[in-house]
Each structure stands twice: as C-alpha cells, then as structure tokens.
Amino acid sequence: MSDIAKQNLILIGNGMAGMRTIEELLKLEPEKYNITVFGDEPYGNYNRIMLSPVLANEKTLEEVMLNDDNWYQENNIRFEKGKKVTDINRVAKKVIAEDGTELPYDKLLIATGSTSFMLPLPGADKQGVIGFRDVKDVDTMVNAALNYKKAVVIGGGLLGLEAANGLMKQGMDVTVVHIGDSLMDRQLDKDAATMLKTSLEEKGMKFLMSHASEEILGDERVTGLRFNDGSEVDADLLVMAVGIKPNFELAKSTGLHCERGIVVSDTMQTFDPNIYAIGECVQHRGQVYGLVAPLFEQAKVAANHLAELGYGRYEGTVTSTMLKVTGISLFSAGDFIGDEDTEELLFRDVASGTYKKIILRDNIIIGACLYGDTMDGTWYFQMMKDGTNISDFRDSILFGQAHLGDAGHGDETRVAAMADNAEICGCNGICKSEIVNAISEKKLFTLDDVRAHTKASASCGSCTGLVESLLAHTLGGDYSQAPSKKSLCACTELTHEEVRTGIRELHLKDHEDVRKSLNWKTDDGCAVCRQATNYYLLCENPDYNDPESRFINERAHGNIQKDGTYSVVPRMFGGMCTPKDLHAIADVAEKFKVPEMKVTGGQRIDMFGIKKEDLPLVWKDLSEAGFVSGHAYGKAMRTCKTCIGDSWCRMGTQDSTSLGIKLEELTWGSWMPHKYKLAVSGCPRNCAEATIKDFGVVCVDSGYEIHVGGNGGIKVRVTDFLIKLDTEEEVLEYCAAFSQYYREDAHYLERTAPWIERVGLDKIKAAVLDDEANRKALYERFIISQKPSQIDPWKKHADGVDENQFKSIKITAA
C-alpha cells in the first residue's frame, strides 16, 4: 500500500481535530502522503460531542461513529488502532509506540486532545471514580447504572450537567456537587444560572452548591464523598467533570515548546517545522480551546499547509456554547459579565422562563447569554463576530431579529406564529407552508438546500433571516446553529476573503490559475464564483477581463429584459443635458424603432426593447453624438444624481451640479463589488437624496459634508456621516479613496451599506481619514484602475470588438 515516492505523514491521536485534518487534506491532496494514524482508543474516529446523547440513550454508539475501520481502508490509511505512541525521535524522524512499532515520518501531526482533570483527592483511585471523556467512561457509567443507584457528579459546568442528565436518564439518583454558588459560571451569569437550576431540579436533579470536596470514601469501591465542612453524601459512582487537561506530555518529552499546551503558530506549526499540532492539546496566541468549532478551523489551516498550499492562517476563534440537555435551551457567547466600560441590555421574564442578556461595548456586542428562548443566539453571535454596530436597532434588539420591521433584515413576525400562507419570499412568491413542507418532506438541513428546492431567499436575499428561522424552527435541535465560515460557493471551501488573499499573495493571474492554485472542486467553477473571481482578479489587475465570466448584462453592456432584448442608458453626467443631446437620443430612438423610453430614477433616459444585434449600431450613433455607456447594467459606478444647486436655486449654497459632474467624470466606468451610486445636493434640503447613496455630498455654506454607506433599495439605510471638507478638490480625493477602499475590501455583491455594517465605520475612518498616506495611496490606485475602465465599452464594441457576440448565425431552409 505504501508508496516510496510519497512522503510519510503520521497522525498521533485519532480524535476529532486530527481526523478532521486528514479529511480536509484528502480533499485537497489525496495522493500526497502515505498516511498512518495512531489512536490509543480501540475504535475508529467517533463524534466525542455526541457522548452526552449516547449516555442519555438518545443516540447509539454506531450513530456517532464518524470514520469506521472500512473508511481507513478505503482511503489507504494505515490505522494503528489501540496503539499508544510513547516516544517521538525528532532527530531520526520516527515515532515509537507502546508495543514497539516504529515508523518514520516526513511530517508529523500531533492531536492528542486532552484528558479529564481529576481532583487530587484522597481516595480518587477507588473503583467507580471516573471522568467523562471517552466511550470507556460512558460504558462504565451505563454499567454502574445497572448495578447501583446513587451517582454524584462533581462540577456544575457544561460537561457535568450533561453527565448528570445522562445518568438520570439511565435511571440513577443524581446529585451535582458544585464549588461555586452558581451553575456553569464560565458560561452563564447568576440569573440565568438560577433559572437553569430550577428547571433541572424540576427534572429531578439534586444540587449541593458551594460544597468543596475533601475526601472520597469507601474501601475498594467508592461509597461516598466528604466535604470540608464535615458533611457527606452517598455515592456508588463518582464522576469528576471539573475541567480538562491538555494532553501534551508526549510533545513535551520530545523537546517541543509547551506552556499550557503545545505552542503553535498561525500555521499550526510547533517549534519543529516538520511537526504540526492541533486540537485541545495546543496553545495558539495564548488561547487553549475546548470546543470543536475552533479545532475544525485549525484543521483546515493545518491541512492547507500539509498540502503545501501555504496560504491558510488561523487567527483564533470566538466561541459560543449550548447545553445539550433535551428540553433546555441555553446559549452563551463571549464576555457576558462586562465591566465598567460596557453596557448591559437585559430582558427577564421568570414566568415564561425567558432570560436574555447582551453586553455591549460602544454599541458592539461583546457577549450574550440567553436562556429559554435562544432563537436569536445565532443572530447575536454573527453580529458579535462581525463587530456590527447595533445603535440603529438597539432599542428592539432584545426582541430579536423578527422584531426589526420590514425595513430591517426582513423578519416581520416570529416565524412560529406566522400563518401558513404568509408570504416569506416576496421575489419568488413562496409562502411559509411551502418552505416548511419542503424542509420536512425533502429532508433539507441547510439554507442552500432550501434555496435550491424552493428558491426562497435565493434572489434578493432579504428574507434569508426568516428562512433560517424557519429551518431552525422546523428542524429543532438538528439545525446546526453555530454559523461557520461561509464559503464563496459550492465550488470551493474558501471564503471571499480567503480567495482574495489567495489571489493577492500568490499573484494569481487568471481564472484557471485561481481554480488550480486554490483547489477548486469544479473545473470551470460556476456562475457564482466565476463572477466574483473575475471581479477580484480585475481589482488586482485593472486590465484583466474574462467576458465569459461576466453576467450577460456586463458582457452585452445592457440590461437583459425578460424577452431577451436589451435596454440602453447613455450616461448624462450629473443629470445635465442639452437640446442637442436630447435630439441625438430621439434620433436613435426613431431610427431603431425603440418601443419604449423612460426617464429613470437615476436622472437619465432609458431606451427599452433593443435587439442584441442592433446594440453596436445604436452605440455607434450615440457614441458619435458624444455619449458613453451609463453602466446601468453593471456592478459598477452607476450615476451621480445632482440637484440644481446655487446656479439657480434660491437655497443653494454651492455649485452642486458641477461638483456632481466632476465626481461622475472621476468615477464613471469603475467596476465595483456591487452597484455604486453617488449624489450631490446643494443644501441640507437634500433634493438629490444624497443620504441614501453609496457616496453622498451635502453642500453647506461652509463646505461639503461627506456621507457614505447609504442605500435606497431593498433595505433602506441612511448614510453615515464621514467628514466635512472645505474644497471640491478634497471631495474628489476622498471620493476616490473611499471608493477604492470599498473596491479592495468588500465582498463581491456586497453594497457599501452591508459592507459598512459588517466592518464598522471606524475601520473605514482609520483607512480613509486618519491615515493621510494611505488615503493618497488609495487615491492613486483608484486613478490607475480608471485608465482602462474609462475606455468607453460602447465605442469599443461599435468599432467591432467581439462583434461575433452580437451576430447570430442564420440558417434558412433553402
């Protein structure tokens, strides 16, 4: 099986983090290594998290196996099952197992996890004293339940309560001993903990709070536990769930640098570059993790480097917790206690058993603790990770996403209470019952599934939150709440950021290059990633363009209509025009028998119903009359709306029209992550609606107020005030710099409004206002990017570029 041409990779630790890395690696580079896995447990890899439901009789061991013995065989992996590695010889690059097996490695991956931390109490070695970590522990508990009655669990944390709940389900009489006066003190504040304790007591669990254990009683087997106040409790089984101990003795004994865990870099490498380590046994940037979400992210990065791709970085993870006790909903994330610089939003209804607390610093969520109603946990957690500024909906945030009226993220009413025929997706006309039925009948689990099967939220996306809530509501506990990294599309596992970084750092030149170097799963990508990648490529290299990866509107430089014809919108800088311009447009309309014309909301004229083959001819005439494309069809700079300003208006303070024209001359043609609109109003009456534009200027007597991040579309958002400037030159400079920052930072198809909400205005201020050198550099880059994009695409095509596109091949039955 082993192949001498390949390198040898050895994994020590057949657990969740290590095996995830192997799976990720197989996806990237299935043929690169001869892989050997050592695991000291006598099983394949199982889902350790699910031991709690196994103990509670809700799942069987078979159901929680992730990779059985066959899997290892099918993937040509040598599996040293039940073998403990006792030594690593770094000089000879060998690992040595307990039974004497010796194997050489080129690359080594250590994922030894952790062990239960056992309190060093007298009597801790007695029979019936165990931790809660692996299948063996679960077996011990299940057997104890057959023969004994009383169980004591030390530790009122997540693990302790799950153990206690499971033992209760096995029929034992369970007492939880906790040293503090409040349960789950690492995850919950006192109020929520009290509510939790009451519901667990109602289920029959007993508690001894503020009890410090002193001695374990019994002869050979445990019979009880004595506390430091002299009191005692009977016990036939004693489970210690007071914490975990990263398992790094092996790594340490071989000389790798360890502190609280094996110290690793952002590439998951230890101090020996041939040795990687991940999982609970490592310490990364001072942090040791005990939950799977961070470990899975680490696994991706380690696999990326083992595959020698070299661009993955692990930068730490914000974690959230849920308790897996059926019937109890609890969610906590981040810092839920706060300090003097933080504010607290609190909702408590003891009667209905609901408690919600959000901790804010400068209107950004830094922690949340929910009990009873955890439906909005994911929403809060996402905003916390994104650093969303919540000041706009601070007064209603505790009522949940559902409460943000329809200008909000879309949830109008609690999904559960909605009528079956309530329309959820306005674009595709999909009502609640259709979605719920599809979820249950077709066994859908993810948002993408629902989109594929019902089209709900697949268009404008404003009902995404509602659809997610419906999923959560319909699936109950099966819906995975923790939002993980979202990949760009199904062709890749990488996020928008990762693709961009990949293109930048690896200097990728074209689509082929991106798909090869970044390990796309499909040969040609799909309509989603091709368009995004095309933008990211041209953003790095303004001359780049792959027409076949553009949406038809950008390829044909017009908006495709439902009958396959196109619309043509010539640019009218600042909305200004002359009689000659209007004559020219009228002539074109007559000559080509344009069926309909309209003055658009963007202050210019739209001609509808033009046949594709006529487009170059229409453009030729328009181009000869001095018009260029209005880009009304592109993810591009669209229009700069202006008002008449001080040239005529009695209220005008500045020449808003001429500033608008200058801004439009500066920015026209620019390809953007999404459409991009500007406006200049001559006074605060704001007739050009500058405060709902991506970049808006409101002239005042003493200068120019700059506003950014507005949106007048699906979800109306008023701009944020950026800065006040004195001169038109400054306005132009800031406009170019802001536009360029947006071009370089936003995800494809993310308008400035959601972008600013995601990254925060402060980041934009830091880049564009505070750092002058950076602003000038952004300005320069914008100007460079404009050179190729201001060669009018209409004129180019009228002059014959890509003329085949517009000509069909005619065949007649001659």
Which parts of this chain interact with ligand SRM (CB under 6 A)?
A: 559, 561, 567, 569, 598, 600-602, 604, 606, 630, 632, 638-639, 641, 675, 677, 711-714, 751
| Residue with the two structure tokens 């254990």 | 213
Number of residues lying near another protein (CB under 8 A): 32
* Residue 638 binding partner per list ligand FAD, another protein, ligand SRM, none, with a CB distance cut-off of 5 to 8 Å that depends on partner kind: ligand SRM
Q: How many CB atoms lie within 10 A of CB 324?
A: 19
* Per-position DSSP letters for 88-103, written without gaps between them: EETTTTEEEETT--EE
Quick note: the x/- pattern for ligand FAD over 248-267, rule CB under 6 A, is --x-----------------
Q: Distance between CA 587 and CA 39 in Å, rounded?
A: 80
Q: Which of 549, 639, 657, 752 binds another protein (CB under 8 A)?
A: 549
Contact between residue 672 and residue 751 where contact means Cβ atoms under 8 Å apart: no
User: Is 811 an interacting residue with respect to another protein (CB under 8 A)?
Assistant: yes
Q: Which of 24, 40, 728, 733 binds ligand FAD (CB under 6 A)?
A: 40
400-419 positions binding ligand FAD, by CB under 6 A: none
Provide the β-strand partners of residue 681. 698
- Which one of 107-115, 402-410, 673-681, 696-704 is the stretch in contact with ligand FAD (CB under 6 A)? 107-115
User: Is 421 an interacting residue with respect to another protein (CB under 8 A)?
Assistant: no
Q: Distance between CA 61 and CA 134 in Å, rounded?
A: 11
| Residue with the two structure tokens 């230890």 | 270
Q: Which of 64, 65, 526, 625 binds another protein (CB under 8 A)?
A: 526
Contact between residue 90 and residue 72 where contact means Cβ atoms under 8 Å apart: no
Q: Which of 13, 465, 645, 696 binds ligand FAD (CB under 6 A)?
A: 13
Q: Which of 25, 277, 295, 585 binds ligand FAD (CB under 6 A)?
A: 295
User: Is 290 an interacting residue with respect to ligand FAD (CB under 6 A)?
Assistant: yes
Least distance in Å: CB of 664 to ligand SRM? Answer: 12
* Per-position DSSP letters for 204-216, written without gaps between them: T-EEETT--EEEE
Instruction: Decide: helix, strand or coil at residue 720.
Output: strand
- Which one of 10-18, 254-262, 453-461, 778-786 is the stretch in contact with ligand FAD (CB under 6 A)? 10-18
Give, for 761, the enclosing helix (H) or strand (E): helix 761-765
Q: Which of 9, 25, 26, 51 binds ligand FAD (CB under 6 A)?
A: 51
Q: Distance between CA 448 and CA 453 in Å, rounded?
A: 9
- Which one of 38-46, 625-633, 648-656, 658-666 is the stretch in contact with ligand FAD (CB under 6 A)? 38-46
Q: Which of 42, 171, 429, 547 binds another protein (CB under 8 A)?
A: 547
Least distance in Å: CB of 553 to ligand SRM? Answer: 7
Quick note: the x/- pattern for ligand FAD over 308-337, rule CB under 6 A, is ----------------x-------------
Q: Which of 530, 604, 638, 797 binds another protein (CB under 8 A)?
A: 530
Least distance in Å: CB of 790 to another protein? Answer: 25
Q: Distance between CA 79 and CA 777 in Å, rounded?
A: 55
Q: Distance between CA 747 and CA 758 in Å, rounded?
A: 10
Q: Which of 8, 9, 10, 16 binds ligand FAD (CB under 6 A)?
A: 16
Measured from the CB atom, is 695 or 704 closer to ligand SRM?
695
User: Is 701 an interacting residue with respect to another protein (CB under 8 A)?
Assistant: no
Contact between residue 132 and residue 159 where contact means Cβ atoms under 8 Å apart: yes
* Residue 549 binding partner per list ligand SRM, another protein, ligand FAD, none, with a CB distance cut-off of 5 to 8 Å that depends on partner kind: another protein
* Per-position DSSP letters for 166-218, written without gaps between them: HHHHTT-EEEEE-SSSSTTTTT--HHHHHHHHHHHHHHT-EEETT--EEEEEE
* Residue 606 binding partner per list ligand FAD, ligand SRM, another protein, none, with a CB distance cut-off of 5 to 8 Å that depends on partner kind: ligand SRM
Provide the β-strand partners of residue 36. 10, 78
- Which one of 111-119, 301-309, 522-530, 595-603 is the stretch in contact with ligand FAD (CB under 6 A)? 111-119
Least distance in Å: CB of 567 to ligand SRM? Answer: 4
Q: From edge to edge, which strands make up the β-sheet containing 78-81?
A: 78-81, 33-39, 7-12, 107-110, 275-277
Q: Which of 293, 452, 617, 718 binds another protein (CB under 8 A)?
A: 452
The residue sitting closest to ligand FAD, measured at its beta carbon, is 15
Q: Distance between CA 260 and CA 250 in Å, rounded?
A: 14
Q: How many CB atoms lie within 10 A of CB 745?
A: 18
User: Is 44 an interacting residue with respect to ligand FAD (CB under 6 A)?
Assistant: no
| Residue (of 564, 600, 570) closest to 582 by Cα position | 570
Q: Give me the long-range contacts of 551-555 (CB less than 8 A, separation at least 24).
A: 551/527, 553/633, 553/634, 554/633, 554/634, 554/635, 554/636, 555/805
| Residue (of 644, 660, 683, 645) closest to 572 by Cα position | 660
Least distance in Å: CB of 31 to another protein? Answer: 23
Give, for 560, the enclosing helix (H) or strand (E): strand 559-560
Q: Please report, as ranges, the residues that interact with another protein according to CB under 8 A.
A: 452-454, 458-459, 522-527, 530-531, 547-552, 555-556, 560, 562, 564, 804-805, 808-813
State the residues that interact with ligand FAD by CB under 6 A: 12-18, 38-41, 48-49, 51-52, 84-85, 111-113, 132-133, 159, 162, 247, 250, 279-280, 290-293, 295, 324
